[in-house]
A = this chain, B = another copy of it.
Amino acid sequence: MDKVVEKVVAGDVRSVARLIRDIDDGIPEVRESLKGLYPYTGNAYVIGITGAPGVGKSTLVDQMLSHIRKKDKTVGVLAVDPTSPFSGGAILGDRVRMQRHSMDSGVFIRSLATRGHFGGLTQSTRSAIDVLDAMGKDYIIVETVGVGQDEVDVVKTAHTTVIVVIPGMGDDIQAIKAGILETGDIFLINKADREGTDKTMSDLRLMIEMDQRKYEGGKWKPPILKTESIIDRGVVEFLEEVEKHKKYLTETTEGLELRKSKGKVREELGEMVKNRLIQEVLSKLTETGEFDGAVQAIVEGKTDPYSACDALVLPRLGLHTG
């Protein structure tokens, strides 16, 4: 057995940290370790926490850690950080709040920031989840800001997806978060002591009812809960809902289909194949200078991008051009 695999499965924190960093950096060699780790995965329960900066995700996660640890379960946290100049700082600051768990060997917290790498955030997150899963963590919490298609995809890696909002987001919830709302299994209105909580509650309820494609008979109907995570209010009740959703996924046929279905494997393998193709071919075309040559030819008007693309791609696949 691969030495890294051996150490990760044994729970060696330093090996886990290094492997996740290598995943984040897009180092190709991690694939061999991931192959070896795969048979040890499938036991962790993945909870996705998503919401705009400022809704209190980190405080919530911090409280979740305390409650989960009280039950003697272990937890891994992956904080998926956006690289935007507007929110990077705030998120980094929030991270500090989880520090009180940093000496607890039952908790492992890491950030991922791979946006822009070939393969992207979603693949890195899935691989990092596999590592924490193989390491033996009972729960894995994936925290994201939930902006953009990338992060909608990241959220889909979770078993239970939790959407966190705060009162007073008003009409904008509907307008802006459409793509991500559909992925929500549980909705939390955090900072629920603030004005506007009832309005936000009724807005969310309306939207959930509108999305009938998802919430047909027999399917999970996403609850909307109020929390004030800073004083730990509502967090236990929230975790009970997570357990209910877990039970739903484990015990019902609709749930089973969602959880480890052929459809899910198909989707994940499809993305992996795409990313791999891009990585192998585009990096080679760059190395050989073919890509730069094509760019130059287009700039000089000697060819068009459509023909240049044919000429770059088709021979690599053993296909003729034109």
Contact = CB atoms under 8 A, between A and B. Distances in A.
Contact of A309 (B82, B276, B318): B276
A239 interface: no
- Dominant SS among interface residues on chain A: helix
Interface in A12-54: 31, 34-35, 38-39, 52-54
Given A38-B305, A39-B304, A52-B176, A299 B86 contact: no
Nearest to A309: B272
A210 B291 contact: no
A211 interface: yes
A42 B15 CA distance: 53
A273 B174 contact: no
A319 B86 contact: no
Contacts of A310: 31, 276
Contacts of A274: 278, 282
Given A39-B304, A273-B285, A309-B269, A210 B317 contact: no
Given A266-B295, A273-B312, A276-B309, A175 B39 contact: no
A277 B268 contact: no
Interface stretch (A93-101, A144-152, A227-235): A144-152
A139 to B, nearest CB: 22
Nearest to A317: B280
A313 interface: yes
Interface residues of A, number: 72
A258 interface: no
Contacts of A278: 274, 277-278
Interface in A49-97: 52-54, 82, 84-87
A190 B292 CA distance: 43
A162 to B, nearest CB: 18
Interface in A279-296: 280-282, 285, 291-292, 294-296
A236 interface: no
A145 to B, nearest CB: 8
Contacts of A282: 270, 273-274, 277
B306 A171 contact: no
A224 interface: no
Given A148-B149, A272-B309, 14 more contacts: A35-B306, A35-B307, A39-B301, A39-B304, A82-B178, A84-B178, A86-B181, A176-B177, A260-B299, A262-B296, A269-B291, A269-B312, A272-B305, A281-B317
5 contacts: A53-B175, A84-B179, A272-B306, A274-B278, A281-B317
